[in-house]
Structure 1
Amino acid sequence: MDKAPFKYDIVGSFLRPERLKKAREDYFNHSITKEELTVIENEEIKKLIDKQKSLGLKAVTDGEFRRRWWHLDFIQALNGISVYDKVTTGFQGKEMKVQGSYISSPISFNEKHPFLEHFRLTQEIAGDTLVKQTIPGPNMIYLDSLILSPQYKENPVYSDLADFRKDLIETYQKAISAFYEAGCRYLQLDDTSWGALFSSAFREKIEACGYQPDQLINEFGDITEAALRVKPKDMVITFHICKGNFQSSWLYEGFYDVIAKRLFSIDAFDGFFLEYDDERSGDFSPLKYIHNQKVVLGLITTKTADLEDKEVIKQRIIEASQYVPLEQLCLSPQCGFASTQEGNHITQQQQWAKLEHVVAIANEVFK
């Protein structure tokens, strides 16, 4: 089997079936037990994995069916993180009820993190098929739980940020090692925090909090590289960045140019999943900083149902090959279909049509 990421691949999340949504609601309303919810989750994940296999995917995910959020479920299960409810207008000015996080005590990895058992269950369901595990990248914690957090500013845990960065690196080193020991061989760090570093609006917010975005580019890179130092040789780790994906809306604007040189120099990554589904992503010129890693072009949007023109997508792949050899390029949707349990504004049928489109185009281009 080829090494991941594959010529046609997926980011991770899928639309939640109505049965699963109802079961989660029943659980939180105390109508069913945790055990009963887990049974339903397992059954729906099996259906999802069978569907992914039928499309010919070489790696499958659990669709993030056990999560409410793509990131907070993982982050809040670490030691030292607290989560709270809030209302935001960040996504294109829409007022939405969301959750935030802040560091409430020194952070560390939870050796009994529930995602480890979730992975084992998914691998058991998947059988011999490779399972891709997705988790948020370390700098989501740095940005959201510390830099932009008013709670943390009021009650800072670390007198020296060097101690925080050390704890953050160790937390992720232990997470990577724990997933490997659980049998994971394909791990993906989803990290939208890098998008804040090229978004003019968020650069202003970061500066207002007393931090320098350009300095953070290097710090984010250093933290990520240090976390990956424990990566085993037979484990694939990829990186995914998008500009926000919440019920078909987005958060950041800006191009990869600002972060590309530092981010793409992280050679421990086997591939980069990059959002390129609209003009907000800019052109492919930042790909000139790619070394030997694969680039998974997110040219197919998950935000709308319309299928992209196949010939246009093929031409865009050829354009990207001016900067990265074709053999290093792959194709995927630009993000998951449901970064939160609500999901994007498309149907199940439209979701699968998108993936069939990815597979068909990739098979024609990467012969």
Structure 2
Amino acid sequence: MSPPSRHCNPPFRAEHLGSLLRTEKLLETRHAWEGGKKPAEELEAVEDADVKDIVKLQLDLGFHAITDGEYRRHMFWGSFWPGLEGMTEIEHPDADLFRMYIPDIAAFTEEGYKPGETVLCTGKIRHVGSTYTAQFDFLKSLVPQSKWKDLKLTPAAPNWYHLRYKEGKAYPKHVYKNDDEYFADVAKAYQAELKILYDHGLRNVQFDDPNLAYFCSEAMIEGWNKDPLNTYSTDKLLEKYTDLYNACVAEIPSDMHVGVHLCRGNFVNSRHFSEGGYDRIATILFQKLNMHTYYLEYDTDRAGGFEPLQHLPKNKNVILGVITSKFPELEDEDEMVARVKEAAKWIAKGTGEIEKEALARCGVSPQCGFASHSSGNAVKMEDMIAKLKLVRKIADRIWPGEP
């Protein structure tokens, strides 16, 4: 997969991961709407006003990969899956449905929450209309047309409603005989969505995928290996997910940029879901997964060292999430600049490039969104702004004059 021309195109030197903190008014209005106390029109009006404000903030701070902050979503994965024919949202799922050792399921359960939005396949999966275009069209209306190609949309991962469910629970056997049949229709749905979004002007896609990071987790792998229901290894499953992704993006035009964010979780109390370095998955992640860019978490040692970046090919980019979005304390700018340059040295070691050439395929960001869950985390609005300013400042020091 050849990347789009890097000059003034995504990915950018200063990035964030999409979700941004909501205002109290937006949270209160959404909760009231969910409880039947406010009409949808009132919620939409608050969303519109807050999206306008957050877009202005991003522009003022010098960011180019502008998002709507995911303000129209409750959780980061958004509305894609419930909008597919053949997928049904379950309001009160039975706990027996889930692999309880999957990191986010375990975290939700321990914190007393239900395991997020639960959507199950109940029939043949078919794309019947985009649930993202209205969000994107409104975002487009807030910037000049020349900036449309920079705008970023963060769709749900195509494997999201597979890993979390016990073997045999993700779809009925009378609908799909096996995973390959199920994944084939999931891929067709994503192909259709990406085509529609492209026709609406989208050129910058960032899949949000905690599941891929779970394959770095010793705790998840131990739980998987002890589960008598599982029919193949985690290595085999990771290969299948890689093939699924590659099928999803197989038909994108040459000027559409696609990337994937490997997330270890950012729950309401700034709790993470999983730990483990990228060493275990580096080869398949960087060399077999057809993505232009990897948005990687590197704010603490729970993500391991930079050594796995030796496997990053010359035609791919990495955005280094060295700034934490979990806690308000600001990182030391000099230390972060040094960390980015250290990462570039490992990339160069693997490719034979000089450090400057490796740096040309890097950028910097917070390690995760600030509000993957709409309620946010331990960071306040002023803290988030300070973090984003620091990201921009680090990028300007390393890559002066570049977006």
1:166-200 deviations in Å (ceiling 9; x for gaps) = 11211111121111112111111111111222212
8 Å CA contact 2:76–2:372 kept in 1: the answer is: yes
Amino acid at match of 1:260: A
Q: Secondary structure at the match of 1:133?
A: coil
8 Å CA contact 1:190–1:239 kept in 2: the answer is: yes
- The answer to whether 1:120 aligns with 2:120 is no
Cα 1:97–1:160 change in 2 (3 A) is closer
Amino acid at match of 2:41: E
- Structure 2 matches for 1:45-124, cutoff 5 A? 45-83=51-89, 84-85=91-92, 89-90=106-107, 93-99=110-116, 100-111=118-129, 113-124=130-141
1:249-275 deviations in Å (ceiling 9; x for gaps) = 111111111111111124742211000
How far the C-alpha of 1:349 sits from its partner, in A, is 0.4
Cα 1:237–1:164 change in 2 (3 A) is same
Q: 2:249 aligns with which of 218, 221, 228?
A: 228
8 Å CA contact 1:243–1:251 kept in 2: the answer is: yes
More deviation, 78-87/311-320? 78-87
Question: 2:152 maps to which residue?
Answer: 132
Cα 1:228–1:91 change in 2 (3 A) is same
8 Å CA contact 1:296–1:331 kept in 2: the answer is: yes
Query: Distance in 1 between the 2:215 and 2:86 partners?
Result: 25
Q: Secondary structure at the match of 2:83?
A: coil
Amino acid at match of 1:190: D
Amino acid at match of 1:323: W
Question: 1:143 maps to which residue?
Answer: 163
Question: 2:258 maps to which residue?
Answer: 237
- The answer to whether 1:282 aligns with 2:299 is no
Question: 1:255 maps to which residue?
Answer: 277
Amino acid at match of 2:63: L
How far the C-alpha of 1:8 sits from its partner, in A, is 0.4
Question: 1:213 maps to which residue?
Answer: 234
1:276-310 deviations in Å (ceiling 9; x for gaps) = 00001111111111112111000000000000111
Structure number with higher strand proportion = 1
Query: Distance in 2 between the 1:41 and 1:192 partners?
Result: 26
Query: Distance in 2 between the 1:323 and 1:78 partners?
Result: 42
- Structure 2 matches for 1:143-222, cutoff 5 A? 143-144=163-164, 147-148=165-166, 151-152=169-170, 157-207=175-225, 208=227, 209-210=229-230, 211-222=232-243
More deviation, 82-91/320-329? 82-91
Amino acid at match of 2:131: P
Query: Distance in 2 between the 1:154 and 1:81 partners?
Result: 11
Cα 1:242–1:152 change in 2 (3 A) is closer
Query: Distance in 2 between the 1:92 and 1:26 partners?
Result: 25
Query: Distance in 2 between the 1:92 and 1:307 partners?
Result: 31
Question: 1:39 maps to which residue?
Answer: 45
Cα 1:91–1:323 change in 2 (3 A) is farther
8 Å CA contact 2:108–2:114 kept in 1: the answer is: no
Amino acid at match of 1:133: L
Q: 1:326 aligns with which of 336, 359, 366?
A: 359
Cα 1:153–1:3 change in 2 (3 A) is closer
8 Å CA contact 2:239–2:284 kept in 1: the answer is: yes
8 Å CA contact 1:148–1:206 kept in 2: the answer is: no
Cα 1:201–1:150 change in 2 (3 A) is farther
Question: 1:308 maps to which residue?
Answer: 331
More deviation, 230-239/96-105? 96-105
Cα 1:9–1:308 change in 2 (3 A) is same
For structure 1, the 5+ residue unaligned runs are none
8 Å CA contact 1:89–1:95 kept in 2: the answer is: no
Question: 2:29 maps to which residue?
Answer: 23
Amino acid at match of 2:61: L
8 Å CA contact 1:69–1:341 kept in 2: the answer is: yes
TM-score (normalizing by structure 1): 0.93
Aligned length: 364
How far the C-alpha of 1:26 sits from its partner, in A, is 2.4
Cα 1:342–1:5 change in 2 (3 A) is same
8 Å CA contact 1:298–1:334 kept in 2: the answer is: yes
How far the C-alpha of 1:353 sits from its partner, in A, is 0.4
More deviation, 276-285/174-183? 174-183
Query: Distance in 1 between the 2:371 and 2:82 partners?
Result: 19
Amino acid at match of 1:213: T
Query: Distance in 1 between the 2:22 and 2:168 partners?
Result: 32
Question: 1:336 maps to which residue?
Answer: 369
Query: Distance in 1 between the 2:367 and 2:202 partners?
Result: 23
Question: 2:15 maps to which residue?
Answer: 9
